[in-house]
Amino acid sequence: MSAKPKIAVHKFSSCDGCQLAFLNLGEDLLRLSELVDIVHFAEAGALAPEASVDIAFVEGSIATPEDLERIEAIRANAAYLITIGACATAGGLQALRNLADAPAWTADVYASPEHIASLDTSTPIAAHVKVDLELWGCPVNARQVLGAVRALLFDVPPVEEHDKVCLECKRRQGVCVLVARGEPCMGPVTRTGCGALCPLFGRDCYGCYGPAEQPNTPALARRFAGLGLVPEAVARRFLFINSGAPDFHDEGLKWREGEGS
Ligand code: SF4
Ligand code: SF4
């Protein structure tokens, strides 16, 4: 890593919410800009999409033919590539099209679908190029982004978080919404990093940080059914923001196709 590393923030198919994790740094963003050169970040004004950089942050999924070419060029120009958010790490909400007839959906939505240049699938960045670090979340938060940059500035590998939301919820002395209130909370299978935000506000987690390590999805899905959710509703708990993540995809599909029990 050079003395003042160059950073780029690139956008693919996404809502821009994860780029806001940078903008929401506020004063820390000014401090960060003293330590690194932010050479490309269209949402903040800096434009140099083809620049060679030390760290490329990538938001969004691969969803158009043009995306396929652009991600190759970004990878070739970056020493270290970090994906930010559910879109970039699992295909995002738009990966629901992978479970459907995408051309038929396009024809239903657009008056002139022949003008839409879109792939039939939405796929994560890692399906196309080597990714050095994945930051999960919808959106990621400023702590995750700063933590990764800080680690790289000190020449140490960033720490990946794999624990479950439940652990974070308990550490913060949250009341379990699944046990105490019978809510279909995804915390037992979802990766931590958000600070157990939803359960601490008394609502069930919907899995926006993607699968944790070794998630026991069959047991949790059966628990949801025991709470009274019909199979389609169980499937929807898993086939949502991270439907492209294999652990959630496989469990959700099982229940959608009537094979859950
Ligand atoms: S992961 Fe969520 S917040 Fe981030 S760009 Fe995708 S939809 Fe937006
Ligand atoms: S509790 Fe779950 S849904 Fe809420 S922010 Fe955290 S991971 Fe996302």
Instruction: Return the structure tokens found at 215.
Output: 């998630």
d(CA 26, CA 23) in angstroms, rounded, equals 6
Strand order in the sheet with 133-135: 37-41, 6-11, 53-59, 78-84, 133-135
Ligand 2 pocket, mutate which of 161, 197, 241 (most atoms under 8 A from CB)? 197
Are the beta carbons of 210 and 182 closer than 8 angstroms? no
Q: Determine the residue of 135, 164, 198, 201 to mutate for testing ligand 2's pocket, defined as the one with the most ligand atoms within 8 A of the Cβ atom.
A: 198
- Which of ligand 2's atoms lies nearest the C-alpha of 192? 7
Within 13 Å, how many C-alpha atoms sit on residue 85's CB side?
A: 30
What secondary structure letter does DSSP report for 59? Answer: E
Give the torsion sign (CA, 229, 232, 233, 234).
positive
Report whether residue 185 contacts ligand 2, using a CB cutoff of 6 Å: no
Going from the Cα of 115 to the center of ligand 2, the distance in angstroms, rounded, reads: 36
Distance 78 CA to ligand 1 centre (A): 22
Q: What is the mean pLDDT of residues 147-163?
A: 91
Residue closest via CA to ligand 1's atom 2 equals 138
Q: Are 165 and 199 in contact (CB under 8 A)?
A: yes
Rounded Cα–Cα distance for residues 2 and 21 (Å): 24
- What secondary structure does DSSP assign to 101-160, as a single string? -HHHHHHHH-S-GGG----S--B-GGGTS--SEEE--TT--HHHHHHHHHHHHTTSPPPP
What pLDDT is recorded for position 229?
97
Confidence of residue 110 (pLDDT cuts 50, 70, 90): very high
The CB of 140 under 6 Å from ligand 2? The reply is: no
Question: pLDDT by residue (tens digit) across 175-214?
Answer: 999 999 999 999 999 999 999 999 999 999 999 999 999 9
pTM for this entry:
0.94
The 8-class DSSP code of residue 189 comes to G
